[in-house]
Amino acid sequence: MHKIGFIGTGEIGNPMAEQILKANYPLVIFDVNKKAAENLLQQGASWAASVAEVAQQSDIVFTSLPGPAELDAVINGANGLLAGAHEDLIHVDLSTCSIVSVKKARAQELAAGVRFLDAPVSGGAVGARAGSLSVMVSGDPAAFEVAEIVIKSFGENIFYLGEDSGKGTMAKLVNNAIFFAVAQVVQEGLVLGEKAGFDLNELHKILKVSSSAAHLGMVPLFLSRNFEKGFTVKLAEKDLAMALESARELKTTLPAINAAHQTYLKSIAMDKGDKMFAATLEVLEQQAGL
């Protein structure tokens, strides 16, 4: 049985690592915040003193990180993955990063004999706890054949998109761009109704049986106004920014997604960056004088 390493045991990384443990794989873990991994240690995971130590002890290393800067630090840090790498080590990055960052990571690791897969996930912490995530993978095909069985411990819908590194990342950026832009459109509609004097719960009843119904899955979340925990405004802004960066490289215009991005930037400027992405509703309401 392969020895598995896991780096980044935050909100979504932790339940993914837990699913790997439940599948009875030996697991060694590291996070900059050891408290974030306490439940995993109690369930039998081993603690490593550094990223390099995780790499030394593992056949496959998974990373779940906030973004490109953290991925670069994990790979190239003084006690990073390359410092502890051995021949045929497989690195599966589950983060949502930029195309540039994953292509750079693959080139650096290939030179060191490490096989790299970019494999961002969708479904959030709820999907991770249920083992039902969607996983979008690209990179070394032989590495995917080895890693797939472990990915199945937390992924229900696994898509291998070929050897071209970055295809998995691009699929995730498209998904998130649609998700967050649609969220903004729905919130703007609610704000318009609220400004016109509607009770939003009553308006929701109307919309649910009208032509916009297909886009209203997030409305109960918005109306709950419980925005303190979850996928943050800062992470949503980062994902939209990377989608726009990719669009520039591909000479593609994304006017609606660009407009949505501006609201996320405004929300960060108004100190809502650490709230759930849905807290942009508060910004739109404030701008409307509500």
Q: Which residues are catalytic?
A: 172
Q: Tell me how long the chain is.
A: 290
Task: Answer yes or no: are the C-beta atoms of 94 and 116 closer than 8 Å.
Answer: no
Got the DSSP string for the chain? ---EEEE--STTHHHHHHHHHHTT--EEEE-SSGGGGHHHHHTTPEE-SSHHHHHHH-SEEEE--SSHHHHHHHHHSTTSHHHH--TT-EEEE-S---HHHHHHHHHHHHHTT-EEEE--EESHHHHHHHT-EEEEEEE-HHHHHHHHHHHTTTEEEEEE--SSTTHHHHHHHHHHHHHHHHHHHHHHHHHHHHHTT--HHHHHHHHHTSTTGGG-TTHHHHHHT--SSSSBHHHHHHHHHHHHHHHHHTT---HHHHHHHHHHHHHHHTT-TTSBGGGHHHHHHHHTT-
